[in-house]
Chain A
Amino acid sequence: MTPNDTQTIHELFGAGALPDAATVDRLHARLVEVAERDGLLDVCYRTMESPYGPLLLVATTKGLVRVAFDVEGHDAVLAHLATAISPRILKDQRRLDHAAAQLDAYFAGRRHEFELDLDLQLSHGFRRNVLMHLRDIEYGATASYAAIARAAGSPAAVRAVGSACATNPLPIVVPCHRVVRSDGSIGQYLGGPDTKRALLAMESAA
């Protein structure tokens, strides 16, 4: 291949430059539609803005399966889900509109409870049991790690409640931010202690 040949290629295929982003977006939307229709879309996701930074929302056909803060690294979360659930993952704004709208209303103080189908498949055993009990803590209220351990039937498992909260796949929606230390201090949070403090302040102000 001489430089002259390469030039000819560029002349020939100069018109074959890579398509622009709008074209790829249009085709992507069509792919999502067909994949959904043919039952090939195992996992879909979108991102949304929140007062606590961008959030990643992920759903399976069963329901919302993951909410992730920016600090967790959205790409890393999706890469993990490709192994943990299925690599058939596509960005799909529409299927998660409902969840995003409820979260928006929550951040605006207009919604106190989420009415969403949840898929808890990322949480197992005792941790999953803990998540079920977290859903009983009402908006604006808090509970101690020890109280949740008692409610979950294992009063001694206070630390395990802490790790269940720390690995909650659905923060905000499953309100692990409402679990605080028995001494009243705030404790750890996936989205950082400042976010936890802010969420609790917002809820108690409403």
Chain B
Amino acid sequence: MSREDQLRKRAKELLANKEVAMVLGYRAGKRPGRATPAFVTRPEDADILIFDDRCGMNLAAYLPRVKHRGRIAVVAKGCDSRSIVTLLKERQVDRSQFFILGVGCEGVKENGRLSDSCTTCAYPNPVICDEMVGEKVAEREPAPDPLADFEKLSSDQRWQVLMDDVSRCIRCYACRQVCPNCYCPTCFVDANSPQWVGKTTAGSDNMMFHLMRAMHMAGRCVECGACSRGCPMGIDLMKFNRKVARVVRERFGAVAGLDPDQPPALAAFDPNDKQEFIR
């Protein structure tokens, strides 16, 4: 039985037995090459579920929204499962509220090419699940450091590259909305009494948004790439997120979403944290 068939069968069973009220997974989008989230509530509809390289959204982002429906079964690839761990750590969801159907992921493809985020994936298999659907996938050899070329540039050159990129941002916040970590009732860009970040798409305001979002991702971003795939303007958001994730890894030995019992990296501290940058 193919993995997809196994997934559909399990989904049917979970729904028929009323173990869950809804299966949150993926189904084929109307356009070829795209998948869209599926919210299956009837066993007979479980056949719409798919799992392949079109499944680029991070379904953990939908958990807070559907939890009121009852117990949810959620299809989780490696990165999504780490997002679930992050949400658990931050008390946004309760472990008893969902049943994780883990799937190993061989990478998301866009237009036939492996998505940028997936080239450096270190966790293709779920780190937490109630049941694994199909076999675990082999861990892939990560691509050479994607930040290496950028870091060779001078300060001014780096600033220019980033400004040229973020100046194209139209502040649609697709990146924020598809991200499981962005669940604040009022995002800092929406605070308007006083207005923290200008609403213009001037380079400066856009850079403020992207730098601060990267800071808010520190220790939490699982580098799933949903944000950069979701960006209509093709902005290289992974650059910011990867840098921050690397800093947290190298300085504090913390990787987002691996251990539900470990406090979030930036909410914790070690009296011996390096402080070479402090006078």
Chains A and B bind each other: no
Interface residues of B (CB under 8 A from A): none
Interface residues of A (CB under 8 A from B): none
